[in-house]
Structures are given as structure tokens and as C-alpha cells.
Amino acid sequence: MTAETPPLAGVIGWPVAHSLSPKLHGHWLKRYNLRGYYVPLGIRPQDFESSIRSLPKLGFRGVNLTIPYKETILSMADAVSDRASLIGAANTITFREDGSISADNTDGYGFLENLRQNAPGWDVRNGPALVLGAGGASRAVVSSLLNAGVPEIRLANRTRQRSEILRDQFGAKISVIDWNRASDAAEDTNLIVNTTSLGMSGKPDLQFSLANAPEGALVTDVVYTPLETQILADARARGNPTVDGLGMLLFQGIPGFESWFGYRPEVDETVRQIVLSG
């Protein structure tokens, strides 16, 4: 790649039209007056590996990955970060000069940075966290909370076995809660997180009561469509601090953008409004 070639990056998925990442990265490129392009790439599963291998030759510095490729990439990568390995998925890859692939997972980083920005004064170390769900998003959240010093994680999932797998993997700070007892487990918590798709537009509602939660417990949701899910609306109505899920998406994009375009962007209200705009 010559110095005159503008750097390329993008997001790969199947489908990929739903992704907000092109709007986010495109705004950052324009805002900071940087050369480069970020494009959506809809790639069929049977073409995924050959397409990834060809990208460095086309001038790509790296890409984000969405469904269904976050796990698939790990077996192809030449280097996998500790957090991506632990989570079992990668959402960000960077191509080295020789075309080799470095894989990372920035979802947990995005999750914590979102809380730090939008709940100033809140400290993950001040009490237990209740995490609803045991899928890929949960793995990223659990990993980031443990790294940040959470004293205890109560993990509830509709299929108990999946929670037990995470407990066995992540260790003694995790206690498994039956799904029908999740609301009871909110007692004395410092943080309540919904990592399931329940409550998302087009999905069933999340059946969860905050009646046992302390008034100071921070409530957050990785879902951002709608921006205020029912659990966030319930929390706000009873006076709990809340953080919506959009910031997680925005912050997780920072490490990749910096790696590909050489500039560390910021997340502020302007970025939020640009991404939310139709």
C-alpha cells in the first residue's frame, strides 16, 4: 500500500445493513478531517475466509465484525488478545504490515467506558453486580467487570447451564441465580445489567422487577433499540440512575478507529445524535 492510498476499514456481517458503525466511523473521519473510508461489507459465510484474506491487499487496515463472524475469526487470527480469547469472540481485527490478523474484543471496554462517562461517581467496586443473560454480550460484560474489581457477580440466564459454564470459566466471584429468582437477587446490588435481547424492538419483554433493588443501584442495558427499554424506564421512574446501551456501541469503536486511522476519537453528545439520526 502506498502512502497516497487512503486507509480503508469497515464492518463485516451477514446481514450488515443494520450496523450503525459506518455512520459512527464516517462521522469521526469527517470531524477530525482524516483521510480514509469506512464501509459496510455484507459477506456470505461461505466467502468469509477468502474475503478476509484478500482485504489487506485491497488497502484495508482492519475491520469490525458482527453476527455471525465474531467467533469464526478466532481460528483464523494469527494473534488473539487475552480478552478476546477469554470472551471467545472478537469484534475488531487489525491487519499487520505482512497481512497477518490481530483479533481483539472491545465490547467490554465499551461497556465500562459508557458507565464511567454517563454515571460519574459510580464505582464498580462498591458492591455486587446482577447480570441478566449468559450469551456473548454477557461474556464481555462479565470479563470487564471482573477486571475492574467487582466484588461479586450474580448471573441469571433462562438456561441455567449457560450460566454455570460462565461460572466455571470465570471463577469464584460468580454465583448462578435461577432465572425465576433474578428479581430477588437484585437486593443490595450496586449494578444491574441486562445483556439479553429481551426488551429489544421486536423481541419479547424482559420480565424483571426492580422492587428489591437499592435506590442507588445503577441500571443499564446493552440494548439500544429502543434507547430506553422497559427496565430503564422502570428504573428511572423509581429514581435509580440509568445508562442506556448506545454508549457501549460508541465506545467500543474507539480502539479500532485509533488503530486504523491513527487518531483517538471522542464520544460526546454530538456523536450520539449523529448515530441516532435517520
| pTM over the 0.85 mark | yes
Catalytic residues: 70
Question: What is the arithmetic mean of pLDDT over 245-267?
Answer: 98
CB of 157 closer than 8 Å to CB of 180: no
Asked whether the predicted pLDDT for residue 2 surpasses 70, the reply is no
Cα separation, 131 vs 249, in Å, equals 18
Check whether 19 is labelled as a binding-site residue.
Answer: yes
Asked whether the predicted pLDDT for residue 4 surpasses 80, the reply is no
Check whether 82 is labelled as a binding-site residue.
Answer: yes
Grid coordinates given for 199: 426488551
Check whether 107 is labelled as a binding-site residue.
Answer: yes
Supply the pLDDT for residue 5. Answer: 84
Check whether 108 is labelled as a binding-site residue.
Answer: no
pLDDT digits (tens, 9 = 90+) for 172-216: 999 999 999 999 999 999 999 999 999 999 999 999 999 999 999
Helices (H), the chain: 21-31, 48-54, 82-87, 107-118, 136-148, 160-170, 230-238, 246-261, 269-276
pLDDT digits (tens, 9 = 90+) for 74-96: 999 999 999 999 999 999 999 99
> Domain limits of the chain?
8-106+252-267, 123-240
Reference 242, options 259, 227, 262; nearest CA is 227
Reference 192, options 124, 257, 264, 251; nearest CA is 124
Question: What is the arithmetic mean of pLDDT over 129-152?
Answer: 97
Cα separation, 201 vs 224, in Å, equals 9
Topology match between the domains 8-106+252-267 and 123-240: yes
Please give the DSSP secondary-structure letter assigned to residue 268. -
Asked whether the predicted pLDDT for residue 114 surpasses 90, the reply is yes
Q: What is the CATH T-level fold of the domain 123-240, as seen in this structure? A: Rossmann fold (3.40.50)
Instruction: Return the CATH number of 8-106+252-267, one of 3.40.50.300, 1.10.1740.10, 1.10.3720.10, 3.40.50.10860.
Output: 3.40.50.10860
3-state secondary structure 214-267: CCCCEEEECCCCCCCCHHHHHHHHHCCCEECCHHHHHHHHHHHHHHHHCCCCCC
CB of 22 closer than 8 Å to CB of 40: yes
Check whether 66 is labelled as a binding-site residue.
Answer: yes
Contacts of residue 153, defined as CB under 8 A and 6 or more positions apart, other chains included, come to 128, 129, 130, 131, 142, 145, 146, 170, 173, 174, 175
